[in-house]
Amino acid sequence: MSSTLTIHVLSIVASRHYQIGITKVQLNIGVNCGMAAEQLPSPDMVVQLFKNYSIGKVRLPEPNSAVLEALENSGIDVTLCIKNEDLPSIASSAKAAETWSIKHVEPYIPLMNFQYITAGNEVFPGDLAKYVLPGMRNIQNIINSYEYTGLRVCTVVGIATLGSLDPTLSGAFADKARADMVGIINLLLKTSSPLLANVYTYFAFASDPDHVRLDYVQFTATRPLVQDSNLSYSNMLDEFFVDTVVCESGWPSAGDELWATPLLAQTYNQNFNQKQVGVDRHWGLFYSDGTPVCPVQRVD
């Protein structure tokens, strides 16, 4: 079987990005476009695929000149990520930040709809966390000098950044991440930029299926299953985050014979669509020939 493109959805609806399956209908969605798989189609083919499925937003995990050139004049909003290993130099030197921007952003600005630049991906807590805030500031200063409206600088966190979510209202950043996150949140508030988060409810379920209900993580519950003060939740994703941009989520179609199946992936993706809001090898939405991995019912 041909390899799959690592494509996750970035849906900006109610201040969230959700991974959903593919349906050929005009929705305010986008995708993470992975570049590590084998037998990847050409950038031009990928961009055409996005247009065929009315995908209006894309997140690039790292700068790639061929992909950026293919996205020029496409009308697709682009989120460009600074690689984790580039954070120390960009954080420590305004000149390094300028060099990065001159190479990866400035040449494309006249023809590109840049939406976000993200400084790092899931580095909290960790050795690279201390570089995110100064890196964001240096890049933000460069962007300000372009007088390019609409482009904001932010970062991406994972579940490890959070402390307790039980109950949700008591949620807080993990102790090891809190000091770094306070400064970042203050900067995001100042620039009216979102915090991006990668959330995979599949892992919460697969690690404890005896206590986590499948309908709670698949959006199929017909009533609230969790009550937190005056708030109630019928699905885990809403419980995890409020007013946060969820930039990665989804359900694998293979890799675990019991729970990672095409049927469960289709159910999850289709319910995402209706909501509009190891295993890594099997998160892709498309095979390399451009066909969807899982069919999803059209929603008009």
| Strands (E) located in 110-218 | 113-121, 152-157, 196-198
Residues tagged active-site: 122, 248
Q: Determine the average pLDDT of the residues in 34-48.
A: 81
Looking at residue 13, its amino acid is V
Can you give the length of the chain in residues?
300
The predicted-structure confidence for 256-267, as pLDDT tens digits, reads as follows: 777 878 888 777
Q: Determine the average pLDDT of the residues in 199-212.
A: 84
Q: What is the pTM of this model?
A: 0.75
| H or E segment to which residue 101 belongs | helix 94-104
The predicted-structure confidence for 172-196, as pLDDT tens digits, reads as follows: 788 888 889 999 999 999 998 988 8
Percent of the chain surpassing pLDDT 70? 73
Least confident of 58-67, 87-96, 224-233, 276-285: 276-285
Mean of the per-residue pLDDT values for the chain? 78
Residue 1, CA distances (Å) to 15, 39, 117, 278, 289 in order: 36, 11, 34, 17, 11
What is the pLDDT confidence band of residue 298, given thresholds at 50, 70 and 90?
Answer: very low
Residue with the bigger pLDDT between 288 and 72: it is 72
Which pLDDT value is given to residue 14? Answer: 26
Domains of the chain: 4-287 (3.20.20.80)
What is the pLDDT confidence band of residue 86, given thresholds at 50, 70 and 90?
Answer: very high
Alpha helices in 147-261 (DSSP H): 175-191, 201-207, 214-217, 236-240
Q: Considering only CA atoms, which of 165, 77, 85, 147 is closest in space to residue 117?
A: 77
Q: Would you say residue 163 has pLDDT above 80? A: no
